[in-house]
Amino acid sequence: MDVQQIAEQVHQKTQVETTVRDVEKVMSGLARTSHFWEIVCASQKPFNVVAEIVEAMRSRGLVNIGEQGDIILTPEGEKFLSDNRIFAKKDYTCPTCEGRGIWREALSELAQKFDEVTVDRPEAILDYDQGYVTTRTVVSRIALIAERGDLEGKKLLVLGDDDLLSIAAGLSGLPEEVVVLEIDDRLVEYINKKARELGLPVKAEKYDFRDKLPEQYVGRFDTFNTDPPETLEALDVCMTRGLTGLRGEGCAGYFGLTRTESSLKKWNLFQQMLVNKFNVAITDIIHEFNHYVNWDYLLGSIRDDYAFVQVKPRLNWYRSSMYRIEVLSGFEKRENKPMPCELYIDEEALIYKPDNK
Amino acid sequence: MDVQQIAEQVHQKTQVETTVRDVEKVMSGLARTSHFWEIVCASQKPFNVVAEIVEAMRSRGLVNIGEQGDIILTPEGEKFLSDNRIFAKKDYTCPTCEGRGIWREALSELAQKFDEVTVDRPEAILDYDQGYVTTRTVVSRIALIAERGDLEGKKLLVLGDDDLLSIAAGLSGLPEEVVVLEIDDRLVEYINKKARELGLPVKAEKYDFRDKLPEQYVGRFDTFNTDPPETLEALDVCMTRGLTGLRGEGCAGYFGLTRTESSLKKWNLFQQMLVNKFNVAITDIIHEFNHYVNWDYLLGSIRDDYAFVQVKPRLNWYRSSMYRIEVLSGFEKRENKPMPCELYIDEEALIYKPDNK
């Protein structure tokens, strides 16, 4: 029995490419913590891959599952790690900025205001694969966009906004205009109501991003922000909509991409799409910039065949890397047309039960 | 006269694509500071582009050049910025980690040790386009590589090491083996001497990366680190050497790329090379991770036709983004053969005098 065997078995079971180093990283996370969601977070591997690796270790007697679903290395497990020179994951994340590289104490004021204003925000629902980021994240994102020169005096397009980034942007006083296109009526209404009450230059409209971008928004914006569902098809559609909304060269797009729902193979394919087809440059990929607040529907929506998975998360484990892309000169608009696509389901996605397939 | 005109004029003069937004970003930097090197740093544009934009503004009466080479907005300049809605650059860089996202107080010890050990390091020389990073940078880089699981118990290949990363890696006690391949005899000797004195698992050999990788190093390493010269040819050669040294899938490469010597057009072409030809995923691009200590030969090596350029830098202005790439499964080794190439000179590179061309 070796690491290579486990990698192959997990690859077969999940249909997600799984390397020896992937298995090592999950084990390295497991050497650091016994909590499933923290291992997912530490190893940055697709959810099902982590689950199957833990199960493979359990079935080989390398870990035991405690009563609370804790995953505990057995003496055999400890020996296995030591024999394979696998060490506990190190953590050097900056405590001030939570690893984002962006933070100033002055931003606390905006954070507090945002919390006060959005205290009655709509809860995340499964229908649209929702889940929103922490206040710290949303304010850091505003600061990032501002620092890169993409916010002050600019027009911002927000494609999907359960994060309420538009409200944070409005409260910052920096952008000239913010337009939110959002499928969820509750959010459209909520954002418009807040914008009205607070006199923010923000408006929201109902929009399904499989439809073409409303003509009045084509080529109007300096910056777009979105958090695409992570199938390649959905990424394609999201980038097409965002880029169609931009004025042209020098404009920028911001979005998150996870390692939890997307393997690096998918990252590579997506990056090919960005640099070849869309002809943009990727200027930033900031690891774990976006931290999501745990959402209520998680445990009901995922597999229930492994006890160690069905435990309540003890941390904001779901995170994504922040991408910034910039449009180059010679940018050609893509055709603005409806694009039907599967948004949420592929082998690597989180929302996965065997009967979903 | 408008921003568009300036962009076109600068494009023509430098042969580097220059967009309206590029000009805006330089002006935005200039609204924040009067020091040329700080404007280069804030605007993250190729050196010559910044110089020509400032000159274009000077010739239009938008800035005056002070006696110390300071660049000062005239009342006309102030009005021009305000009319064009160009605002002073914002800075939200985290003060604890200097924007890297990586830092723990415990690393100070390694930093101090590194400083003590390398107090007699060789100075940077022009022959090999040298320039080394700050101690804070080198220690943060070690922490980053360790955090991503690419250092502890691993074999590290360092291609070119005027930064003395190998010594910092050795001092950390984490890697199993560090091999440095370096063209500068002074550094080869220095690193080997220190490694011997301190008992570090580090060795250095003389190597010109236009030669093929020594056979004993093909497929040997888990991780490579390099700081390529920034012509596309040199990037190609550097990545080929680094990847040829790696064992395979899941292994990682780390390197810096500037915005000062490379336009985003070049970034895009380089990214195409990475994701298409080399079939890796880019997992991180960390803005201004690497800060370089100012080197003695700077002012003697660059253009002397503009007074505002020939001023001594007041900050560590030369910075680069940190890339991490990861090898995917199905990785195919490239042929290991000599690759002659132009290393240092292109339109965007810093080392540029008209008579160099």
Q: Let me know: does A287 contact B100? Beta carbons within 8 Å.
A: no
Q: What residues of chain B lie within 8 A of the CB of A275, using their CB?
A: 268, 271-272, 275
Of the three residues A83, A99, A132, the one that is the final residue of a domain is A83
Q: What residues of chain B lie within 8 A of the CB of A103, using their CB?
A: 92, 94
Q: Residue A185 pLDDT more than 70?
A: yes
Of the three residues A83, A117, A141, the one that is the final residue of a domain is A83
When scoring B45, B49, B92 by the number of chain A Cβ atoms within 10 A, the one with the most, hence best to mutate, is: B92
Within a 10 A sphere around the Cβ of B285, how many other Cβ atoms? 24
Amino acid identity of residue B55, one-letter, is: E
Average pLDDT over residues B293-318: 89
Least confident span in A52-61, B215-224, B260-269: B260-269
A48 and A169 both lie in a single domain: no
Average pLDDT, chain B: 93
pLDDT tens for residues A304-320?
899 999 999 999 999 99
- What's the confidence (pLDDT) of residue B344? 64
* Residue in A20, A101, A153 closest to B287 by CB: A101
For chain B, the three-class secondary structure string (H helix, E strand, C coil) is CCHHHHHHHHHHHHCCCCCHHHHHHHHHHHCCCCCHHHHHHHHCCCHHHHHHHHHHHHHCCCEEECCCCCEEECHHHHHHHHHCCCCCCCCCECCCCCCCCECCCCHHHHHHHHHHHCCCCCCCCHHHCCCCECHHHHHHHHHHHHHCCCCCCCEEEEECCCCCHHHHHHHHCCCCEEEEEECCHHHHHHHHHHHHHHCCCEEEEECCCCCCCCHHHCCCECEEEECCCCCHHHHHHHHHHHHHCECCCCCEEEEEECCCCCCHHHHHHHHHHHHHHCCEEEEEEEEEEEEECCCCCHHHHCCCCCCCCCCCCCCCCCEEEEEEEEECCCCCCCCCCCCCCCCCCCCCCCCCCHHHC
Average pLDDT over residues A196-220: 97
User: Is A88 part of any domain?
Assistant: no
Q: Let me know: does A76 contact A62? Beta carbons within 8 Å.
A: yes
Of the three residues A49, A83, A117, the one that is the final residue of a domain is A83
Question: What percentage of residues in chain A have a pLDDT greater than 90?
Answer: 81
Between residues 66 and 125 of chain A, which touch chain B (CB distance below 8 Å)? 85-87, 89-97, 99-104, 107
Distance CA B115, CA A213 (A): 56
How wide is the angle at C-alpha A196 spanned by C-alphas A191 and A197, nearest 5°? 100
- What's the confidence (pLDDT) of residue B349? 63
* Residue in A89, A250, A280 closest to B149 by CB: A89
A68 and A145 both lie in a single domain: no
Handedness of CA A47, A43, A282, A152 (dihedral sign): positive
Q: Does A325 touch chain B (CB under 8 A)?
A: no
CATH for B72: 1.10.10.10
B333 pLDDT tier (thresholds 50, 70, 90): confident
Min Cα–Cα distance to chain A from B306, Å: 27
A122 and A193 both lie in a single domain: yes
Q: Does A223 touch chain B (CB under 8 A)?
A: no
pLDDT tens for residues B320-331?
999 999 999 887
User: Is A99 part of any domain?
Assistant: no
Average pLDDT over residues A99-120: 97
Distance CA B267, CA B258 (A): 9
Is A249's CB within 8 Å of B21's CB? yes
Q: Read off the tokens for B2.
A: 């408008």
**Integer CA distances (angstroms), B83 to A8, A288, B42, B86, in order:** 62, 38, 21, 8
Domains held by chain B: number: 2
- What's the confidence (pLDDT) of residue B1? 61
DSSP β-ladder status, B202-206 and B155-159: unpaired
Q: What residues of chain B lie within 8 A of the CB of A150, using their CB?
A: none
Average pLDDT over residues A261-289: 95
- What's the confidence (pLDDT) of residue A288? 97
pLDDT tens for residues A64-85?
999 889 999 999 999 999 999 9
**Integer CA distances (angstroms), B212 to A168, B158, B252, in order:** 53, 15, 20
B52 pLDDT tier (thresholds 50, 70, 90): very high
* Residue in B24, B91, B285 closest to A283 by CB: B285
Q: What residues of chain A lie within 8 A of the CB of B93, using their CB?
A: 101-102, 147
Handedness of CA B1, B7, B8, B12 (dihedral sign): positive
Q: Does A306 touch chain B (CB under 8 A)?
A: no
B197 and B283 both lie in a single domain: yes
Q: Does A173 touch chain B (CB under 8 A)?
A: no
Average pLDDT over residues B327-341: 86
* Residue in A17, A91, A275 closest to B329 by CB: A17
Is B97's CB within 8 Å of A102's CB? no
A34 and A120 both lie in a single domain: no
- What's the confidence (pLDDT) of residue A347? 67
Within a 10 A sphere around the Cβ of B344, how many other Cβ atoms? 17
Burial label for B349, CB within 10 Å (0-12, 13-18, 19+), is buried
Q: Does A163 touch chain B (CB under 8 A)?
A: no
B252: left (phi over 0), alpha (psi -120 to 50) or beta: beta
A70 and A203 both lie in a single domain: no
A144 and A233 both lie in a single domain: yes
A286 and A155 both lie in a single domain: yes
- What's the confidence (pLDDT) of residue B321? 98
- What's the confidence (pLDDT) of residue A353? 40
Is B146's CB within 8 Å of A92's CB? yes
- Residues paired with A194 in a beta bridge: none
Domain residues for the domain of B111 are: 107-356
Residue that wins the pLDDT comparison between A114 and B249: A114
Average pLDDT over residues A157-186: 97
A149 and A185 both lie in a single domain: yes
- What's the confidence (pLDDT) of residue B347? 67
Q: Residue B298 pLDDT more than 90?
A: no
Q: Let me know: does A65 contact A71? Beta carbons within 8 Å.
A: yes
Q: Let me know: does A338 contact A208? Beta carbons within 8 Å.
A: no
Distance CA A8, CA A349 (A): 20
Asked if ipTM goes beyond 0.90, one says: yes
- What's the confidence (pLDDT) of residue A97? 98
Distance CA B308, CA A11 (A): 59
User: Is A92 part of any domain?
Assistant: no
Is B97's CB within 8 Å of A97's CB? yes
- What's the confidence (pLDDT) of residue A304? 86
Distance CA A188, CA A203 (A): 8
* Residue in A85, A94, A282 closest to B153 by CB: A85
Q: Does B15 touch chain A (CB under 8 A)?
A: no
Q: Does B283 touch chain A (CB under 8 A)?
A: yes
User: Is B141 part of any domain?
Assistant: yes
Is B280's CB within 8 Å of A268's CB? yes
A172 and A76 both lie in a single domain: no
Least confident span in A139-148, B102-111, B326-335: B326-335
Question: What percentage of residues in chain A have a pLDDT greater than 70?
Answer: 96
Give the residue from B259, B267, B321 showing the smallest Cα distance to B291.
Answer: B321
Is B96's CB within 8 Å of A97's CB? yes
* Residue in B90, B99, B328 closest to A264 by CB: B328
**Integer CA distances (angstroms), B56 to B27, B50, B60, in order:** 11, 10, 6
Angle between helices B47-59 and B20-30 (to 10 degrees): 80
User: Is B95 part of any domain?
Assistant: no
B286 and B172 both lie in a single domain: yes
Between A and B, how many residue pairs show a Cβ–Cβ distance under 8 A?
183
Is B283's CB within 8 Å of A287's CB? yes
User: Is B92 part of any domain?
Assistant: no
Torsion of CA A327, A332, A334, A335, to 10 degrees: 150
CATH for B283: 3.40.50.150
Residue that wins the pLDDT comparison between A47 and B126: A47
User: Is A96 part of any domain?
Assistant: no
When scoring B177, B263, B268 by the number of chain A Cβ atoms within 10 A, the one with the most, hence best to mutate, is: B268
Min Cα–Cα distance to chain B from A259, Å: 9
Q: Does A271 touch chain B (CB under 8 A)?
A: yes
Q: What residues of chain A lie within 8 A of the CB of B326, using their CB?
A: 264
Q: What residues of chain B lie within 8 A of the CB of A24, using their CB?
A: 149, 250
Distance CA A35, CA A50 (A): 12
Q: Does B328 touch chain A (CB under 8 A)?
A: yes
User: Is A312 part of any domain?
Assistant: yes
A30 and A111 both lie in a single domain: no
Q: Does A267 touch chain B (CB under 8 A)?
A: yes
- Please state the φ and ψ torsions of residue B238, each to the nearest 5 degrees: -60, -45
* Residue in B249, B251, B276 closest to A272 by CB: B276
Is B95's CB within 8 Å of A89's CB? no
Q: Does B249 touch chain A (CB under 8 A)?
A: yes
